[in-house]
Amino acid sequence: MRELRSTPQFEKAYRKFVRRNPVLEKKIDEALKQMRLDVFTPTLQTHKLSGKLLGLSACSCGYNCRIVFSMEKDSQTGQEFIVLVDIGTHDEVY
Protein backbone atom coordinates (compact mmCIF):
# COMPACT_ATOMS: atom_id res chain seq x y z
CA MET A 1 0.00 0.00 0.00
CA ARG A 2 1.40 3.37 -1.04
CA GLU A 3 1.26 6.51 1.06
CA LEU A 4 -0.46 9.58 -0.40
CA ARG A 5 1.17 12.97 0.14
CA SER A 6 -0.52 16.13 -1.06
CA THR A 7 0.97 19.44 -2.08
CA PRO A 8 -0.52 22.78 -0.97
CA GLN A 9 -1.60 23.32 -4.59
CA PHE A 10 -3.56 20.05 -4.50
CA GLU A 11 -5.21 20.92 -1.17
CA LYS A 12 -6.38 24.27 -2.51
CA ALA A 13 -7.59 22.80 -5.81
CA TYR A 14 -9.39 19.99 -3.93
CA ARG A 15 -11.30 22.40 -1.70
CA LYS A 16 -12.25 24.57 -4.68
CA PHE A 17 -13.28 21.63 -6.86
CA VAL A 18 -15.39 19.97 -4.15
CA ARG A 19 -17.10 23.27 -3.38
CA ARG A 20 -18.16 23.53 -7.04
CA ASN A 21 -18.94 19.80 -7.39
CA PRO A 22 -20.08 18.44 -4.00
CA VAL A 23 -21.62 15.32 -5.58
CA LEU A 24 -18.13 14.21 -6.74
CA GLU A 25 -16.55 14.29 -3.27
CA LYS A 26 -17.41 10.64 -2.57
CA LYS A 27 -16.04 9.53 -5.97
CA ILE A 28 -12.83 11.47 -5.37
CA ASP A 29 -12.38 9.91 -1.93
CA GLU A 30 -12.95 6.44 -3.41
CA ALA A 31 -10.40 7.15 -6.14
CA LEU A 32 -7.84 8.27 -3.56
CA LYS A 33 -8.40 5.06 -1.55
CA GLN A 34 -7.99 3.00 -4.71
CA MET A 35 -4.78 4.87 -5.55
CA ARG A 36 -3.33 3.78 -2.21
CA LEU A 37 -4.16 0.15 -2.95
CA ASP A 38 -3.32 -0.03 -6.67
CA VAL A 39 -2.75 3.13 -8.69
CA PHE A 40 -2.73 1.12 -11.93
CA THR A 41 -6.15 -0.51 -11.56
CA PRO A 42 -8.10 -0.17 -14.82
CA THR A 43 -10.97 1.74 -13.17
CA LEU A 44 -8.64 4.71 -12.53
CA GLN A 45 -7.47 4.89 -16.14
CA THR A 46 -3.99 5.92 -14.99
CA HIS A 47 -1.78 7.32 -17.73
CA LYS A 48 1.50 9.20 -18.09
CA LEU A 49 1.44 12.81 -19.22
CA SER A 50 3.56 14.63 -21.76
CA GLY A 51 4.39 18.18 -22.73
CA LYS A 52 4.53 20.66 -19.87
CA LEU A 53 3.41 17.89 -17.47
CA LEU A 54 6.10 15.42 -18.54
CA GLY A 55 7.09 13.17 -15.65
CA LEU A 56 3.64 13.32 -14.05
CA SER A 57 0.73 10.92 -14.31
CA ALA A 58 -3.01 11.35 -14.10
CA CYS A 59 -6.00 9.23 -13.24
CA SER A 60 -9.74 9.61 -13.60
CA CYS A 61 -12.11 9.99 -10.68
CA GLY A 62 -15.27 10.57 -12.66
CA TYR A 63 -16.36 11.62 -16.11
CA ASN A 64 -14.68 15.04 -16.05
CA CYS A 65 -12.45 14.83 -12.98
CA ARG A 66 -8.70 14.17 -13.09
CA ILE A 67 -6.06 13.81 -10.39
CA VAL A 68 -2.50 14.71 -11.41
CA PHE A 69 0.25 13.06 -9.38
CA SER A 70 3.82 11.83 -9.38
CA MET A 71 5.30 8.59 -8.12
CA GLU A 72 8.28 9.12 -5.84
CA LYS A 73 10.59 6.86 -3.90
CA ASP A 74 11.98 7.53 -0.43
CA SER A 75 15.77 7.40 -0.80
CA GLN A 76 16.30 6.04 2.72
CA THR A 77 13.59 3.38 2.94
CA GLY A 78 12.99 2.66 -0.74
CA GLN A 79 9.25 2.96 -0.09
CA GLU A 80 7.19 4.33 -2.99
CA PHE A 81 4.68 7.09 -2.35
CA ILE A 82 2.31 9.19 -4.43
CA VAL A 83 2.53 12.98 -4.45
CA LEU A 84 -0.83 14.54 -5.31
CA VAL A 85 -0.20 17.62 -7.44
CA ASP A 86 -3.53 18.87 -8.84
CA ILE A 87 -7.20 18.00 -9.25
CA GLY A 88 -9.88 19.41 -11.51
CA THR A 89 -11.63 19.03 -14.82
CA HIS A 90 -9.75 17.85 -17.88
CA ASP A 91 -9.30 21.43 -19.14
CA GLU A 92 -8.23 22.78 -15.72
CA VAL A 93 -5.40 20.36 -15.06
CA TYR A 94 -4.06 19.88 -18.58
CATH of the domain at 19: 3.30.2310.20
Predicted local distance difference test score (pLDDT) of residue 91: 93
Looking at the domain assignment, is residue 93 inside a domain? no
Amino acid at 48: K
Predicted local distance difference test score (pLDDT) of residue 40: 95
Predicted local distance difference test score (pLDDT) of residue 27: 94
Q: What mean pLDDT is predicted for residues 30-38?
A: 96
Looking at the domain assignment, is residue 50 inside a domain? yes
Distance, in Å, from the CA atom of 66 to the CA atom of 37, rounded to the nearest integer, reads: 18
**Is 90 exceeded by the pLDDT of residue 35?**
yes
Domain total in the chain: 1
Looking at the domain assignment, is residue 23 inside a domain? yes
Residue-wise pLDDT tens digits, 53-71: 999 999 999 888 999 999 9
Looking at the domain assignment, is residue 92 inside a domain? no
